[in-house]
Amino acid sequence: MIQFSDFEEKTKIVFKDKDLLKQAFIHRSYINENPSAGLSHNERLEFLGDAVLELVVTDFLYKKYPSYTEGELTSLRSALVNAVIISEVASKIEMNDFLLLSKGEAKDTGKARQYILANTFEAYVGALFLDQGYAPAEKFITTVLLPYTEEIVSKKLWRDAKSLIQEKAQEFLNVTPSYKVLHETGPDHDKHFTVGIFLGADVAAEGKGKSKQEAEQKAAEAALKIKNWLD
């Protein structure tokens, strides 16, 4: 039996409306499997939380980086609020232990779970906003998510690695990078890919991910570091 009071203890945030807290963790699949439970899934909360999250992050970045252009701020915000980072944050605060999923969804630990965790994080932000207002929601996001900003900025991860390496490869080598899947492991619901990035005939670097796109991004990031093209 999931005890949401344990999550309150972990986060040091106690909800007035316990049903709202529980709803943040209820996936649509759980409702489909338990229609008589009289519960609601978290999608409306996710819709609200997404907007709160975007405002908090936008306000923070606007103040912290006064010399950045609108385009740079938009890219940096996208890097901070993407599903990979948010699901990582959700995992760190152990949201995974409190998810209410169907039996089928509960078995899936691959990319689908990553998106469920990211959506649950946003739903929790929405629930916290409804329960206690903007300031506590802002404090929560500032505590658990915004510390990632320094790493993203220092490693220039806010710039799309695939676009950047295409630009650099054409500038320095007059070639267009290409990508090839080198290895593929795992069942259909939990695939892991290793992708090589080629600058001409040679593999410049490899990247791993739970999708081809993620592995390509990792390969591009690795190649940028190897080539010392990160400016």
Q: For residues 80 and 77, give the distance between their C-alpha atoms in angstroms, rounded to a whole number.
A: 5
- Both tokens of 105, joined, read 């969804």
Residue where the block lists tokens 């992708």? 195
What does the CA dihedral 15, 46, 133, 17 come to, rounded to 10 degrees?
Answer: -30
pLDDT digits (tens, 9 = 90+) for 136-174: 999 999 999 999 898 888 766 666 788 888 888 999 999
Q: How confident is the model at residue 92 (pLDDT cuts 50, 70, 90)?
A: very high
- Residues classed as catalytic: 50, 122
What is the mean predicted confidence (pLDDT) over 14-19?
Answer: 96
pLDDT score recorded for residue 153: 80
Q: How confident is the model at residue 188 (pLDDT cuts 50, 70, 90)?
A: confident
Average pLDDT across the chain, whole number: 91
Q: Map out the domains of the chain with their CATH numbers.
A: 4-154 (1.10.1520.10), 161-226 (3.30.160.20)
Residue 184 confidence (pLDDT) above 70: yes
Sheet with 178-185, strands from edge to edge, namely 178-185, 192-199, 202-209
Residue type present at position 18: K
Across the range 1-27, mean pLDDT stands at 95
Q: Is 71 helix (H, G, I), strand (E, B) or coil?
A: helix
Q: What is the mean pLDDT of residues 50-61?
A: 97
Angle at 222 between CA 220 and CA 225, to 5 degrees: 110
Selected residue with higher pLDDT from 182 and 111: 182
Candidates 119, 63, 62; CA nearest to 96 is: 119
Residue 162: its H or E element: helix 161-172
Q: Which residues pair with 194 in a beta bridge?
A: 183, 208
pTM over the 0.85 mark: no
